[in-house]
Every structure is written in C-alpha cells, then in structure tokens.
Amino acid sequence: MMKRPALLSTALLTTLALAACDSGNGGGVPTNGRLIDQIHPSQDYAQSTTVQGLLTPANTLASGVIEAPEVSDYPQAIVDRLLASWSGPRPDARVWLTPDTAFTSDVSVGGAIFLNTGLIRYFHDTPEIQKEDALAFVLAHELSHILLGHTAAQRESKARKNYAFSAMKWGSVIGRASAGIGATDAVSKALVSSMGAKAFLDTTLFPSWSRGQEEEADALAVDLMARAGYSVSAATDVMDVLISSEDQDVARQAQLEQKTGKSFNADSVTFTAKAGDNLDGAIVDALRAVAQQHPHARERRLALAAYLRQAYPVRAHVALARKPLQHWVTSSPVTALLKGTDQLERAASLIGQSQWGQAHQTLAHIAQPASGSAYYALMTYQVAVQTGQKNQAEKLLAAAAERDDVTFPIAVAWGNTLSAAGKTGEAETYMAKEEEAMGNTGFLPYRIKNARQAKDGVSVLKLSAICEGLGEDNLAGQCSAMEKN
C-alpha cells in the first residue's frame, strides 16, 4: 500500500505527457507543400471592444505599455507589408511597445502585437542580426498566431485550464495523504478519475502557446515573409538567438531552484515544491510540460529547418534589407526609448528598496516616451505618497486611472482610494467597469473589500459566489480573505 502513491504519480505523469502531446496542435505543419496554401483563412477576427481588453495581459503588469508612434511606426509598416500578401480577411493587428528586458514578443487575445524593448535593444546592440528580414520573422510569427486562430483558442481554453490546474493541486494533496495513511480503493479511484479523465486530456493547457501552435506560427511566418519578399533564411538567425537566451534562462532557473525549490505559475495558479520534495517536484515538472513552460526553442528550430527544407528547397536570392533596420535602431526615438526604459527599471528597483528620494530623482530625469507611460505615472504616484505629497499623489492617481492604457495596479489603487474616502459607490462603479473592460477577474477581491466597507452584505455574498464559481484557487482564496477580514 505504501508504494501506491508512486504508481499513481507515474499514471499522473503519463496522463500529463499525453495531454502535452495532444494540446493545441490544430491542423499541424504540413510535410508536403506550404502551410499558407493549405489553411482556410478565418472570416472574422474577434477584436477587443476596449483598449483595456486589447492590451490584456500586458496591462495586468505594472509596466504596461509605452505609446511611441515614432518608434512603433516602423515595425507596424512591416506588419502591414506582411498582411498585404495575405489572401484572407485582414485583422487590425497593431504594434504596441512593452518595457520588458526579454528577447521576446507576444500577442494578446484581442490581437495586439507586443514588442518588448529587450528585443529592440538586442537588435540595437547586435550588428550581425540588424536586418529587417529578422525583425519581419518576429512580427510575422506573432501575426500568424492571429491569422491561425490561436488567440481565439486561447480565450476558450481559460476556464477549462483553471479546472485542470485545480485538479492537479487536489491530486497532490490526496497523494500525500495516501503516502501517510495508506490509500483506500476509494481514494485511489478518485485520484485516477480526477487526473486521468478524458476532460483533462481534452483540456488545452498553455499560458501562451503550445509547441504545436508555435511550430505552426513559425511555418506560416516564413510563408508570409516569402510572399512579402523577405529572406526566409533570416528566421533561423532569430531561432539561434532564442536558443541562446533560453539556455541562459534555464541555467539561472536551475541554480535558483537548488536553493528555493521548484514553482509552477500560470494565470491565477501557483504550485510550489520545496527543495528536496520529489513528489511535488515531479508534479511541477509535469505541469510545466503540459503548459509548455519548459525549453523548446531547439525543438522549434529543428521543426522550422525541416519545414524550410521541404517547402523551400530552392530559394530565390533575396537581398537582405539591413539599412532600414539599422537606421531605425540607431535613431533618436529608439535610443530615447531604450534610455527611458532603463531609467524606469532603475526607478522600480529603488522603489522596491524603499529608497524614495533616489527614486524621485531618477523619475525626474526620465523624458518622453517613457515619461508618458502608465508605468511612470504609477511610480510618480507611489513616490508622492511616500514623500508626504498626499494631494499631488491623489491628482496623479486620478489622472492615471482614466487612461485608456490604465494598468491593473493603477485601477486597484484608485478603487481602494475611493473606497477609503467613503466613496464606495464610485469605487464599485469604477472597478466593475475596469474588470469588464480588461476581462480581469482579479478585481473581485477588491470589490468585495469595498462592499464590506459599504456594509453591503448582499453584494459581498454575490461577488464571493461569482469568485468561487470561477474555479481559480488563488483568486478564491483572496476573495475569502477579503470576505472574512
């Protein structure tokens, strides 16, 4: 009986491996011919009706986005050129800049393309990759997620994903109890049923994209590039950078996990395994595998190479466009953006260390476009609060709360400010509006807190029921804490 949990863990991991293979592959990358000639273009691309919804999940983070048309117009022109060769209906795919140091880009469920300043910096600092064709692949990859319908699939999977993650955590608890007291047939059947159910296998689990979807997007990206007159060979240069970046991330993560243990995070779910905890460690590994939170740049590189060999065995010579990108990355607007995001990062670090005076000085030297961002607005508000400028702080926050690119932390801070001032009706109206606009249920605990402040027991019960019904463990815990305290 004492060995049963190990057997169940094996069954669990097998189930997870099957789920990983089965999740989100769509039609797959063809082994004969080009993907662009074999897919059926969508007749409609669901766009968000609000800027807040369009910018989710970037606006979930304090950093948000930076609006700088003088910088984004160039990559936007590349996206438009790629779309011009697309035979189906064309989505309104717009480029937004995000102050993130990683060499990555992303696309929102609503169809916004996020270009990290870390990626721009890499192009700025690395002459050998300074070619428009390489940036075209980055943008074509994100655009392909929209064209292939992956963004719609991501939206539809969220509720099922939360259920599956909750089941995983429950399964670990049962496994531990079984290890301690011996598993009865009822507990064993419950665990196998929960973890091996067809509903779990059918669940699409990914925080961003499954490996199959990434490979499809890579294939369609080179097809779009070829039609637009770009060199498809530049795609492999970008892949090599991704592999190098991923290797560095893995090494840092492994070093950290030796001290702190492993952790899995996705949306509202966190699952932590302490160092030396083999049972929970195996479950974290399995969750990462299913959710694609593990290295796969090399696999993508191999899949892309195979696709290029069969779809483009003979390639017409295409002159690499270096000068346009070199001019862009060395231009005053781009260098100002990179300098500003460095300063934003420094200010955030100083605020994290409660060094308010130095943070104030750093913020005072930040210029446009970074100084026009919601991130800058949030930090100037935080510094004003901590340096005794209460009236100025409230004015800054009130203005930031009405921005189209308002972030979740700003919206929560404004809702809490209104509630603390006794304006509970205004607070509820504002937070409910932003929750709907962003599609962010993270507002629920704060709305419950506000309802308690207003002594509105009916609203507390109503909001708590909604929170519990979403099936998100962490969120439900936050709502419960707000309801009781």
CATH of the domain at 418: 1.25.40.10
- Indicate the residue among 281, 304, 323 that finishes a domain: 323
Assess whether 277 and 222 both reside in one domain: yes
Q: What is the pTM of this model?
A: 0.78
Burial classification of residue 338, based on how many CB atoms lie within 10 Å of its CB (0-12 exposed, 13-18 middle, 19 or more buried): buried
Query: Of 258, 288, 323, at which residue does a domain stop?
Result: 323
Task: Please check whether residue 171 lies inside any domain of the structure.
Answer: no
Residues 337, 310 share a domain = no
Same domain, 346 and 459: yes
Domain check: are 285 and 359 in the same one? no
- What is the domain range of residue 432? 332-484
Q: Would residue 181 count as lying in a domain?
A: no
444: nearest Cα among 398, 478, 401: 478
Q: Are residues 281 and 336 in the same domain?
A: no
Q: Which residues contact 45 (CB under 8 A, 6 or more apart)?
A: 89, 91, 92, 111, 146
Tell me, yes or no, whether 280 and 399 share the same domain.
no
In a domain, 174, yes or no: no
Question: In the numeric block, which tokens belong to residue 220?
Answer: 């369609």
Per-residue model confidence as pLDDT tens for the chain (485 residues): 333 333 333 434 434 443 444 444 446 899 999 999 998 877 677 777 789 999 988 999 999 999 999 999 999 999 999 999 898 888 889 999 999 887 778 888 788 999 999 999 999 999 988 999 999 999 999 999 999 988 766 555 444 444 444 444 333 333 333 333 333 333 333 333 333 332 332 332 233 567 788 899 999 999 999 999 999 999 988 888 877 766 666 667 667 667 777 776 654 456 677 776 666 666 666 666 655 544 477 888 899 999 999 999 987 767 777 899 999 999 999 999 999 999 999 999 999 999 999 999 999 999 999 999 999 999 999 999 999 999 999 999 999 999 999 999 999 999 999 999 999 999 999 999 999 999 899 999 999 999 999 999 999 999 999 998 887 777 888 899 998 87
Residues 263 and 141 reside in one and the same domain = yes
Q: Is residue 198 assigned to a domain? A: no
Whether residues 290 and 341 fall in one domain: no
Same domain, 212 and 336: no
Q: Could you say which of 262, 293, 323 is where a domain stops?
A: 323
| Rounded Cα distance, 366 and 390, in Å | 22
Domain-embedded: residue 367: yes
Q: List, as one string, the DSSP characters of 32-89.
A: SS-GGGTS---S-----SSHHHHHTTGGGSTT--B--HHHHHHHHHHHHHHHHT--S-
User: Residues 220, 312: one domain?
Assistant: yes
Q: Positive or negative CA dihedral for 407, 412, 415, 418?
A: negative
Strand order across the beta sheet in which 105-107 lies:
95-98, 113-116, 105-107
Residues 117, 339 contacting (CB under 8 angstroms): no
Q: Is 247 found in the same domain as 104?
A: yes
Q: What angle do CA 238, 304, 136 make, to 5 degrees?
A: 40
Total domains present in the chain: 2
Q: Give every CB contact of residue 194 below 8 A, 6+ residues apart in sequence.
A: 167, 170, 171, 200
Domain assignment present for 160: no
Angle at 436 between CA 93 and CA 60, to 5 degrees: 65
Query: Is 168 contained in some domain?
Result: no
Pair 338, 245 in one domain: no
